[in-house]
Structure 1
Amino acid sequence: MKFAVSLTMERFSPDMPMSKVKSNLLELAQMADEGGFETLWTAEHHTIECTISPNPLMTLTWLAQHTQQIRLGTSTLVAPYWSPIRLAGEAALCDHLTGGRLEFGIARGSYQYEFDRMAGGMQQQEGVAYLKELVPAVKKLWAEDYAHDGHYWKFPLAAGVPKPLQTPHPPIWVAARDPGTFDWAVGIGANILSTPLSAPAAEIAVLGEKFRKAAADHPEVPRPRLMMQRRTCIYDRPDEWEVAVRHAIDYGRAFENLFQNIGTVENGFPEAVPYESVKGKDNYNPESIRKNLMFGTPDEIIEKLEDYEAAGVDQYCLGLTFNLPFELQKKTIKLFVDEVMPHFAERDRAKAVAVGR
């Protein structure tokens, strides 16, 4: 199992200057690069300060100039916001500007608040139809001249310019939770980005089974990779969990606002849905959050990661963007690099030696 980190510029107060937001992201990205993480993922979002990433391809191009090895992925581009020609060209150019380190992640989109402003008010669930038309068109534009006559886009014979640096194209990843999306994505040869959100550990196995079934149903394509992401915070002592849980709850209340479109957003800052309206939900129970999310000491994190490994996860991604204090974000990366990653590296070496005997 490899490891990745999800990072995005985030701002929860107008008192936080963008210069600091930018420098924080860069420092974390360089720590991840130097620490040996496989991939850095960053999302696309619009009009909200808590996720400042109107074009993740631009962010990744910038980060590529300040990192050496880490792969750079979009988690995720939002299909209904793009056109095939524009996306094919911009992603391919990003692949060149990052030295062939682009991982191309795409999704239907999630926040209804954004859809009301970026996609004419369409329901977010309809984004999957855009996704299924867009990705095959982009792949064809990456390969050769192509004319498209679809439901959402139509254009005469055109070239994707430039062509990607990676051949035949950057690895494609599709965000999925429902079986239909798993099946479609695996069928076109895409890898899977998924998350158990705040659900109990049993959800990890459920998502792993959806992936295994999709792979078994498509023997005609090589087995793709499965990435799972969970909010992550690592600390030295077990009694330090309260800070992480408090920030997860507050961030979740803002997420409910954007996802369900049930609150207000002022100057890009979403209000947190009143705790009274969500406290009955188990995923807002502090003890459930502490148990379900990737919160814990290094030893506790290692034990929790075994559930992901058992589910067939190829890459576990540390979700660090939930208004966690910057020093705690840095501490999480450092403890993961110093105490968690060596555990798995040593075990992998032992397995390799055993196989070689």
Structure 2
Amino acid sequence: MRFGLLYEHQLPRPWDGDTEHRLFKDALAQVELADRLGIDHIWEVEHHFLEEYAHSSAPEVFLAACAARTKNIRIGHGVVLAPPGYNHPARVAERIATLDLIADGRVDWGTGESASRVELEGFGIDPDQKKAMWAEAVEQTANMMAMSPYPGFQGKFFSMPVRNVVPKPLQKPHPPIWVACSKRETIHAAARAGIGALTFAFVDPAEAGKWAHEYYDIIKSEECVPIGHTVNANIAMVTGFSVHEDAAEARARGSEGFQFFGYSLGHFYVYGNHQPGVTNVWERFEAAKDKLPPAGRGSGIGTPADLIGHLKQYQDAGVDQVVFIQQGGRNRHEHICEALELFAAQVMPVLKADQAERDAKKARELAPFIEAALKRKQRMAPVAREAIPTVIAYGRNVVQAGQATEGPTHHVNADIAVMMTDVADDKKKQAAE
């Protein structure tokens, strides 16, 4: 089993002038520690305007800093919002490829469509079209990274001419693709698209086992037609995290933060009324906290022995990765670091003892199904060299032998043309004198 850390950059009110600065610096320190300890993945979300719940609107910046500070941990864009109103597909291809180069081929490309009115309406995105936007954008972004040049596209939600999108990622043809899932139907859709399921459903191991079984049944069926140029057969489950030798202390350190994560998620996505810049989500959470289900038992919160027993159930159920929410609510940085060290020392070795054997067995079992799935994909036809249009620059002023010759001139270059003509005239005058 593999393990990851999820960053939403939660920041409950009140805020002072330095709280966001400390938040990001602490997160970077945690990622450096996780890399040294052998944690497999970090995942960073993309959200906009979700005060207190997620101050993570520029994940590509944070992840680049993580890549520069680490050597082994995989860098998960979990997720890039795919509708073009958030991110043009070409910009996503450029950013993912650049990050993959900086990270020496350690990037995982998580995708999503978004579900919050605060975000969707903030960017003018039609919620009834977002699923179709996701499908169009993700497929074309993968094509941009894999094809040279990209043949161009006339779609429903974005269009662009023939262009060679550079740079290309280090992982060929592109980094592994994932999609954020909160429902069983989305996990099925992930399998049909041949991509990893990054699941935010908070289900128990028995239910997770059913979902994992259904996911892999679809991967092995003719329903699986890859949206990208590879198949990433993986299912990950998200849960809370706090580890201490004393179970009560583990709950005291981590339960409230996990509760706030769930409450604030519900505030923005399910039941909340939010006034931007006014609503205090933490105050509402505190008022409702006693009525919320307790966090701890059945999650990644407890003693090392508790976690071994709980996570072993996920492993046996067929879950490939468990992703921990350790930075939630007001969880303290030093407690997070202590928990990571204890987890790496006492829990992780038990669950990773036969990792290589499990990986090899899985690869052998899935190889023929993945090969068949890739044959079913209808690939975008490359553009013939003679059909690639020539793009003529806007400005075509030419200075030869001291003369400025004007052709069709874009106004931006007019001043340059005049300046170069003046230089030529000055040289003539100096020569005459």
TM-score interval, smaller chain: 0.7 to 0.9
Residue 341 of structure 2 is aligned to residue 337 of structure 1: no
Alignment of 1:254-269 (within 5 A): 254-260=264-270, 262-267=272-277
CA distance in 2 between counterparts of 1:148 and 1:285 reads: 49
CA distance in 2 between counterparts of 1:56 and 1:43 reads: 7
Q: Give the C-alpha shift of residue 61 in structure 1.
A: 0.9
Identity, in percent, stands at 23
Q: Give the C-alpha shift of residue 223 in structure 1.
A: 6.7
Residue 221 of structure 2 is aligned to residue 217 of structure 1: yes
Among 262, 275, 282, the alignment partner of 1:252 is 262
- Report if the CA contact (8 A) 1:196-1:203 is conserved: no
Cα distance 1:351–1:158, how it changes in 2: closer, same or farther (>3 A)? closer
Q: Give the C-alpha shift of residue 337 in structure 1.
A: 0.6
- Report if the CA contact (8 A) 1:60-1:98 is conserved: no
Among 91, 94, 100, the alignment partner of 2:99 is 94
Cα distance 1:14–1:297, how it changes in 2: closer, same or farther (>3 A)? same
CA distance in 1 between counterparts of 2:170 and 2:343 reads: 32
User: Tell me, what secondary structure is at the counterpart of 1:21?
Assistant: helix
User: Tell me, what secondary structure is at the counterpart of 1:165?
Assistant: coil
- Report if the CA contact (8 A) 1:172-1:191 is conserved: yes
Residue 17 of structure 2 is aligned to residue 48 of structure 1: no
Among 232, 242, 247, the alignment partner of 1:233 is 242
User: Tell me, what secondary structure is at the counterpart of 2:208?
Assistant: helix
User: Tell me, what secondary structure is at the counterpart of 1:217?
Assistant: coil
Q: Give the C-alpha shift of residue 127 in structure 1.
A: 2.6
Alignment of 1:1-357 (within 5 A): 1-12=1-12, 13-15=14-16, 16-50=18-52, 51-80=54-83, 81-120=86-125, 122-123=126-127, 126-144=129-147, 145-197=150-202, 199-218=203-222, 224-240=233-249, 241-260=251-270, 262-267=272-277, 270-272=280-282, 273=284, 284-286=292-294, 289-323=295-329, 324-346=331-353
TM-score (ref. length: structure 1) = 0.86
Q: Give the C-alpha shift of residue 316 in structure 1.
A: 1.6
Cα distance 1:190–1:42, how it changes in 2: closer, same or farther (>3 A)? same
- Report if the CA contact (8 A) 1:254-1:270 is conserved: no
TM-score (ref. length: structure 2) = 0.72
Letter in 1 for 2:332: P
Cα distance 1:140–1:233, how it changes in 2: closer, same or farther (>3 A)? same
Q: Give the C-alpha shift of residue 303 in structure 1.
A: 0.6
User: Tell me, what secondary structure is at the counterpart of 2:334?
Assistant: helix
Q: Give the C-alpha shift of residue 249 in structure 1.
A: 2.4
Letter in 1 for 2:9: M
Letter in 1 for 2:322: Y
CA-to-partner distance for each residue in 1:178-230, whole Å, 9 max, x for gaps?
A: 45433443334322211332x44433223213312322324777671222221
Q: Give the C-alpha shift of residue 74 in structure 1.
A: 0.8
- Report if the CA contact (8 A) 1:233-1:295 is conserved: yes
Which segments of 5 or more consecutive residues in structure 1 lack a partner in the other structure?
Answer: 353-357
CA distance in 2 between counterparts of 1:112 and 1:292 reads: 31
Cα distance 1:116–1:277, how it changes in 2: closer, same or farther (>3 A)? farther
Q: Give the C-alpha shift of residue 232 in structure 1.
A: 1.3
- Correspondence for 2:379: none
CA distance in 1 between counterparts of 2:233 and 2:342 reads: 30
Letter in 2 for 1:44: E
- Correspondence for 1:355: none
Q: Give the C-alpha shift of residue 53 in structure 1.
A: 1.9
CA-to-partner distance for each residue in 1:47-73, whole Å, 9 max, x for gaps?
A: 234322212122111111111111101
CA distance in 2 between counterparts of 1:261 and 1:90 reads: 34
CA-to-partner distance for each residue in 1:229-256, whole Å, 9 max, x for gaps?
A: 2121112212222442223223332222
User: Tell me, what secondary structure is at the counterpart of 2:241?
Assistant: strand
The alignment yields a C-alpha RMSD, in angstroms, of 2.7
Q: Pick the structure with greater CA Rg.
A: 2
